[in-house]
């Protein structure tokens, strides 16, 4: 016996499950992309700036 919804006109539970699985996979891909972008941005922030402190600085004696 196949489970059914109590709401008339609603898709069967199997279809709802399949739809939710697709949405979950899409969100997982979006999250993976956002995490990769975040890692790259953090790596850029943590990289030393090769020109930092070279121009526009004056050493006091």
The Cα–Cα gap between 50 and 36 comes to: 24
Return the pLDDT at 5: 56
Q: Which one is predicted more confidently, 60 or 11?
A: 11
Q: What is the DSSP letter of 54?
A: T
Contacts of 4 (CB under 8 A, 6+ apart): 12, 13
pLDDT value of position 33: 98
Torsion angles phi and psi, residue 7, rounded to 5: -90, 125
Name residue, tokens 């399949």: 18
Report the C-alpha gap between 57 and 8 in whole angstroms.
74
- More confident site: 34 or 51: 34
Q: Is 3 in contact with 11 (CB distance < 8 Å)?
A: no
Instruction: Give the rounded percent of residues in the chain with a pLDDT score beyond 90.
Output: 61
The answer to pTM > 0.75 is no
For the cut 60, the answer to whether the pLDDT of residue 57 exceeds it is no
């Amino acid at each position: 016996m196949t489970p059914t919804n109590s709401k008339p006109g609603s898709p069967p539970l199997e279809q709802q499950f399949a739809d939710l699985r697709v949405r979950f996979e899409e969100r997982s891909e979006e999250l993976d992309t956002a995490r990769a972008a975040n890692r790259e941005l953090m790596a850029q922030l943590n990289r030393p700036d090769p020109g930092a402190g070279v121009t526009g600085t004056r050493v006091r004696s």
